[in-house]
Amino acid sequence: MENFQYSNPNPNYGATDFIETPEFELSDYLFPVDGLNDDFLLQNEMTSEFIQSISSYSNPAPSSTNNIKCTKGVKKYNKVIAKSRVAFRFKSDLEVLDDGFKWRKYGKKMVKNSPNPRNYYKCSTGGCNVKKRVERDNDDSSYVITTYEGIHNHESPCVLHFTQFPPNIPTYGLHNLHL
DNA sequence: CGCATTTGACCCGCGC
DNA sequence: GCGCGGGTCAAATGCG
């Protein structure tokens, strides 16, 4: 839990083949301060508070005397994962990272105060509304910022054996992050 | 020819 | 109400 590592989800790489080259490293990652909030908190590590807050939504403590609270927990969890966003910042020459999912590009936009365009993708799996944005860091264009929004309602087509997340933690399609 | 990508138009929320 | 900026749509285009 205390550190992240990135491994390529490509099956050609072994499950334990972490990539730590200067060209392709996980440098920062951002999590929403609150799943319902648009603001991001830059964190150097995923806090246990965040883990626990998500876990408490998906696993409201079973209580025969408090079913209402359990229902609320599930509803809030569903709302959180539908809107949850997480951004990753990679050093990469490539715009598109193979995260094991199939994406369809649906938009491209120049954003203010940045010389680089922002690209918009949707998960092309039917019924899955997960989106992602990809843009280059305007401070250091050797970095790529990928923002995922929503949780896949299906498994990744090619990285089943990478599912090492605890069951309560949304993976954002990033099975390559090992907690 | 079928499908993904491109790209300008359109939409919508927000601040003034 | 209007303009701006970000997000999405969809017709045109490209590519296998």
* Amino acid (one-letter) located at A155: E
Please state the domain count of chain A: 1
Q: Is the CB of A83 under 7 A from strand C?
A: no
- The per-residue pLDDT for A102 is 84
Distance CA A59, CA A53 (A): 10
Span CA (A11) to C1' (B13), Å:
43
Span CA (A118) to C1' (C4), Å:
18
Domain CATH for A123: 2.20.25.80
Which chain B positions come under 7 Å from a protein C-beta?
4-9
- Give tens-digit pLDDT for A112-153: 888 888 999 988 877 777 888 888 887 777 788 888 887 776
* Residue A127 included in any domain: yes
Residue labelled with tokens 């999590």: A31
* Residue A20 included in any domain: no
Q: Computed over its alpha carbons, how large is the radius of gyration of chain A? A: 17
* Residue A40 included in any domain: no
* Residue A85 included in any domain: yes
pLDDT at A54 over 60: no
- The per-residue pLDDT for A139 is 74
For residue A104, which nucleotide's C1' is closest to its Cα?
A: B4
Nearest protein residue to the C1' atom of B4, measured from CA: A104
